[in-house]
Amino acid sequence: MVKEVITGAISLLKGMGVTIKAFFSPVVTVQYPRETINITPRFRGHTKLVADDENPDKTRCIVCGMCERNCPSNSIQVIGEKKEGEKKKILTKYILNFTTCSQCGICVESCPTDALAFSGDYNPASFNKETFYYDLVAEFEKRKK
């Protein structure tokens, strides 16, 4: 019985030592709404459109639909129109349904003009799913300004 009390006391002291050591170690918790964390460059958020090198006001997208056809979740809808006097189609809407997107990256890899990249948006949160239907053309226009 005395042996059990002694081993229990030793165990208690070891546990208290671990607790005291953790109490005086630096804090690793981030106070989230007031502080943000640094995201690694390889983070995969939802996709975004990339600006053209020659004309930064336009995207690189040529409305080929390769990303839409290769998406295994059918999360992408590319809409473009050919305007009068233009040779190529112009991207008018790029709808990404992020509720079904599996973030596999096939759309980014299959794009022949490298018009897609992953965004750094790490905290999309909402109470309704309609906010997760992204119009990437509208977001590109907002980023441009």
Residues, the chain: 145
In a domain, 9, yes or no: no
Full residue range of the structural domain in which residue 67 is found: 47-144
Q: Supply the CATH number for residue 133's domain.
A: 3.30.70.3270
In a domain, 51, yes or no: yes
Question: Which H, E and C letters describe the chain, residue by residue?
Answer: CHHHHHHHHHHHHHHHHHHHHHHHCCCCCCCCCCCCCCCCCCCCCCEEECECCCCCCCECCCCCCHHHHHCCCCCEEEEEECCCCCCCCEEEEEEEECCCCCCCCHHHHHCCCCCEEECCCCCCCCCCHHHHEEEHHHHHHHHHC
In a domain, 108, yes or no: yes
Cα(134)–Cα(145) distance, rounded to whole angstroms? Answer: 18
pLDDT, tens digit (0-9, with 9 covering 90-100), for 12-22:
999 999 999 99
In a domain, 89, yes or no: yes
pLDDT, tens digit (0-9, with 9 covering 90-100), for 88-139:
888 999 999 999 999 999 999 999 999 999 998 888 888 999 999 999 999 9
